Amino acid sequence: MGTQRDGTNTAPQHERADLPALADREGILGDLDRVICEAWASFDAPRTAEPQLDEMLIRRLEAPLPEEAGDTEAALQDAARILDASISPSRPLYLGYIGSTGLEIGVLASALVATYDANLAVAAGGADLVEEQTLRWLAGFVGFPYAEGAFTSGGMTSNLTALLAAREQALPGCRVDGLGDRRAAVYCSAEAHHSVVRAVEVCGLGSSAVRLISIDEAHRMRPEALDESLSSDIAAGVVPVAVVATAGTALTGAVDPLDAVADVCARHGVWLHIDGAYGLPGAAPTTAPLFAGLERADSAAIDAHKWLGVQKSCSAVLLRERGRLQAAFGHEERYMLHEGDLANPVDRTLEYSRPLRSLRLWMAFRVHGAARYRAWIENTLTNARLFAESLRDSSEFELLHDPMLSTVCFRHVPAGTGDVDAHNIKLAREMQRDGRVFLAPASVDGRACLRVCFVNFRTTFDGIAHVLEVAGELGRRMARD
């Protein structure tokens, strides 16, 4: 069922009216090819401004649910214009929230995933082999001793999956009987991602069970403070479920001292989970020494849709011991029978309907290779270091921390500005509206600032020099006004 480009109904008389097949498949695929190629070309250079939607398209976005069939080409064109006027992390100077780079090979993989629509809740044939191989490749790339794992919808779900496995180990039977009168706690740094708190809440422990461990001057968890907190809780009858160390905080890119944290966990017999959603790919290039101790962790989370460049959503949770996921999620249902002793994939994950997310990363590793990935990541680290050096040399800007990975926080401090905090928050919003550079406001050590994160392989040093040019231009104008 469908329409031609002139609006003529092309559905044959014998075709059922409720079958939503596209009549002009080759034609619309040609249009899609053009739209995608135009988008890819637009990602090659920074924008001069942020596009705006026209009034007619805005009115169409306010229209009620259409009752009758519409024109496929028109819908595609509207979708392309809407997305072009949306924030895309693929652009070279998208440096705000940690996003993907939009690797072109990931678009092809996404199209194949959507076309075949395999569901990894049950045995899916070749798709299962792809997922397992990609997990092994990913673990090998960052140096994690992999035994089992799964791809998930994001870092939040990966962290939650690991904590549910840790909870079942620390409190056997709690997935059936609940906590009862048992008290439990989870430990993370004061600058850990909020997904850890949310995961603890979903685990049924309550956010009051989160112990925020103090950080040092480099924004890393203090192992001695962790040791004190664990000792105090154990003495009070509180069961430690897990310690969550962060390998690359969202705020400053700090990597907790994993080896020292692992020592504390080993001393108290506590599960160690590494939240490496953003930063764990940094274990592959020259920053690898920062991640010493990763191999001692019980589990780790990593988002391929961040520093590894593929499209959302493509996250993974890795475990060093087989059987922990089955203990946390395994079940028997009459509508999903097991093949003998073989568990269904859903018996190792939180999610039921689960697409083949891993194909994006599998194809990226196949096409680009690990060596090129390491070089790309190294380039983003260099961008961060060079950007920090530019800030140190500037009298107009203030660097707030030495970048450990690829995140840099800084402030615009023009002479005569009274409220520097308010100025920087307003400047961040103004830069987002301007469209030439997208960064985000943040707060480091109680000071409002601008924050950039270099994970985009398209970002050049000429581009990052442009960041200070735009920030200075807009900031000076705001200070004058």
pLDDT tens-place string over residues 4-49: 555 455 544 444 556 667 778 888 899 999 999 999 998 888 888 8
> Does residue 369 come out as left (phi exceeding 0), alpha (psi in the -120 to 50 range) or beta?
left
Query: pTM here?
Result: 0.91
- Domains of the chain are 116-362 (3.40.640.10)
* Rounded Cα distance, 340 and 123, in Å: 13
Burial of 306-343, coded b for 16+ CB within 10 Å and e otherwise, reads bbbbbbbbbbbbbbbeeebbeebbeeeeeeeeeeeeeb
* Rounded Cα distance, 267 and 261, in Å: 10
Chain centroid to Cα 316, Å, comes to 10
Identify the pLDDT of residue 2. 46
Identify the pLDDT of residue 464. 86
Identify the pLDDT of residue 302. 98
Find, among 142, 117, 139, 132, the residue nearest to 355 by Cα.
Answer: 117
Q: Does residue 313 have a cis bond before it (omega within 30 degrees)?
A: yes
Position 335, amino acid: Y
Find the radius of gyration of the CA atoms of the chain: 25
What residue ranges in 268-367 does DSSP mark as E strands?
Answer: 271-275, 299-303, 315-319
pLDDT by residue for the chain (481 residues), tens only, comes to: 444 555 455 544 444 556 667 778 888 899 999 999 999 998 888 888 878 899 999 999 999 999 888 888 999 999 999 999 888 888 889 998 898 888 999 999 999 999 988 887 777 788 899 999 999 999 999 999 999 999 999 999 999 999 999 999 999 999 899 988 899 999 999 999 999 999 999 999 999 999 999 999 999 999 999 999 999 999 999 999 999 999 999 999 999 999 999 999 999 999 999 999 999 999 999 999 999 999 999 999 999 999 999 999 899 999 999 999 998 888 766 555 556 555 677 777 888 788 899 999 999 999 999 999 999 999 999 999 999 999 999 999 999 999 999 999 999 999 878 899 999 999 999 999 998 999 999 999 999 999 999 999 999 888 888 999 999 999 999 988 7
Identify the pLDDT of residue 13. 47
Q: Please report, for residues 132, 133, 139, 144, 317, the alpha-carbon distance to residue 147 in angstroms, rounded to integers and kept in the order given.
A: 10, 12, 9, 9, 11
In this structure, the number of other CB atoms found within 10 A of the CB of residue 214 comes to 13
Find, among 229, 232, 154, the residue nearest to 194 by Cα.
Answer: 154
17: which residues sit within 8 A by CB, 6+ positions away?
1, 11
> Does residue 309 come out as left (phi exceeding 0), alpha (psi in the -120 to 50 range) or beta?
left
For residues 260 and 227, is the Cβ–Cβ distance under 8 A? no
Bridge partners of 240?
185
Query: ∠ at Cα 452 (317, 361), nearest 5°?
Result: 30
User: What separation, in Å, do the N-terminal and C-terminal C-alpha atoms of the chain show?
Assistant: 59
Identify the pLDDT of residue 256. 98
Identify the pLDDT of residue 336. 53
pLDDT single digits (tens) 223-256: 999 999 999 999 999 999 999 999 999 999 999 9
Helix/strand number for the chain, H first, E second: 14, 11
| Paired tokens of 358 | 């891993």
| Paired tokens of 367 | 């096409």
For residues 299 and 274, is the Cβ–Cβ distance under 8 A? yes
In this structure, the number of other CB atoms found within 10 A of the CB of residue 381 comes to 19
Q: Please report, for residues 119, 159, 343, 345, the alpha-carbon distance to residue 26 in angstroms, rounded to integers and kept in the order given.
A: 27, 42, 41, 36
Bridge partners of 303?
315
Position 145, amino acid: P
| Paired tokens of 42 | 């637009």
What residue ranges in 276-348 does DSSP mark as E strands?
Answer: 299-303, 315-319
Burial of 252-272, coded b for 16+ CB within 10 Å and e otherwise, reads bbbbbbbebbbebbeeeebbb
Q: Please report, for residues 166, 176, 188, 343, 386, the alpha-carbon distance to residue 327 in angstroms, rounded to integers and kept in the order given.
A: 10, 11, 24, 11, 47
Position 296, amino acid: R
Burial of 181-197, coded b for 16+ CB within 10 Å and e otherwise, reads eeebbbbbbebbbebbb
Q: Please report, for residues 95, 391, 399, 451, the alpha-carbon distance to residue 469 in angstroms, rounded to integers and kept in the order given.
A: 15, 12, 16, 15
375: which residues sit within 8 A by CB, 6+ positions away?
285
Identify the pLDDT of residue 1. 40
* Rounded Cα distance, 453 and 468, in Å: 14
Burial of 88-116, coded b for 16+ CB within 10 Å and e otherwise, reads bbbbbbbbbebbbbbbbbbbebbeebeee
pLDDT single digits (tens) 123-164: 778 889 999 999 999 999 999 999 999 999 999 999 999 999
Q: With pLDDT > 70 as the criterion, what percentage of the chain qualifies?
A: 93
111: which residues sit within 8 A by CB, 6+ positions away?
none
